[in-house]
Amino acid sequence: MGRYLNADQHKIVSDAVAAAELQTSGEIVTVLADRSDGYSDIALVWAATAAFTMMSVFALFPSPFMQLWDSLVIGPIFGGWGHEWTTGELATMTIALGLITFALTWALQLWDPLRFALVPGPVKTTRAHDAAIKHFKVGAERRTHGRTGVLLYLSMQEHRAEIVADEPIAEKVKAEVWGDAMADMLQHIKRGEIAEGLAAGARDVGEVLSEHFPRDEDDQNELPDRLIEV
């Protein structure tokens, strides 16, 4: 995975976070991820489904497969003469078709655009949310004096974004309130302006936090302002 942002673009996000935190005692953490999950389980399901489908089709309509095999393989070997298929040969062909289909389907899904296209939307949403929670627990949860950490999480392959807040913030700020921040962030990102989108999200989150958690005179920066790219 290559990095999405260069040093100058990282600075755009970091500066926006630092500026937003001047208004609030809250701490904002930004995470940019290539993907939230590898989805090997989904790829396995598709490969198994394709394999069993191919085996079922062969079991229902064996003649076309048998004729093709006879014409391409058996015929040239035995001078054009066909042969009677035994039960063992039919079973072997069924298993072979299943294994080949499984391997080909799995190999095709190694191409990321196809793999992610085959992942259902609700699964992407759930995995992105779970990844955001995981990053939040590691990087922000209960790591500030007043437990006022907020995580902005963006997952590029899933095209998903999440905002996760510490419990004291969640008690005062409803999830719907983050909608404007999410909308501003995604508006830029859809145009390919990733750094600008994260910066806009950080500014909006800072404005929300300043209403409920204004900055104290002795407030200290407890979490790094830099963008975390994983």
Instruction: Give the CATH number, domain containing residue 187.
Output: 3.10.310.50
In a shared domain, residues 142 and 103:
no
Q: In this structure, are 15 and 78 located in the same domain? A: no
What pLDDT shows up at residue 52? 95
Tell me, what's the pLDDT at 138?
A: 78
Show which of 66, 93, 117 is a domain's final residue.
117
Shared domain for 108 and 129, answered yes or no, is: no
Tens-digit pLDDT profile for residues 130-148: 999 988 887 665 555 557 7
Are residues 134 and 49 both part of a single domain? no
- pLDDT tens digits, residue range 114-134? 999 999 999 999 999 999 998
**Which domain range does residue 74 map to?**
40-117
pLDDT of 10 strictly over 90:
yes
Does 211 lie in the same domain as 135?
Answer: yes
pLDDT over threshold 60, residue 27: yes
Asked which of 117, 139, 170 is the last residue of a domain, the reply is 117
Percent of the chain with pLDDT over 70: 84
Residue 169 domain-assigned (yes or no): yes
Number of domains in the chain: 2
Token pair for 14: 């970091």
* Residues 97/58, Cβ–Cβ less than 8 Å: yes
46 and 152 part of one domain? no
Top-confidence range, 19-23, 45-49, 186-190: 45-49
Of 74, 95, 117, the domain-final residue: 117
Alpha helices, DSSP H, located in the chain: 7-21, 40-60, 62-69, 75-77, 87-108, 112-117, 121-139, 167-172, 179-189, 194-212
Show contacts of 181-187: CB within 8 Å, 24+ apart. Answer: 181/152, 181/205, 181/208, 185/152, 185/154, 185/161, 186/161
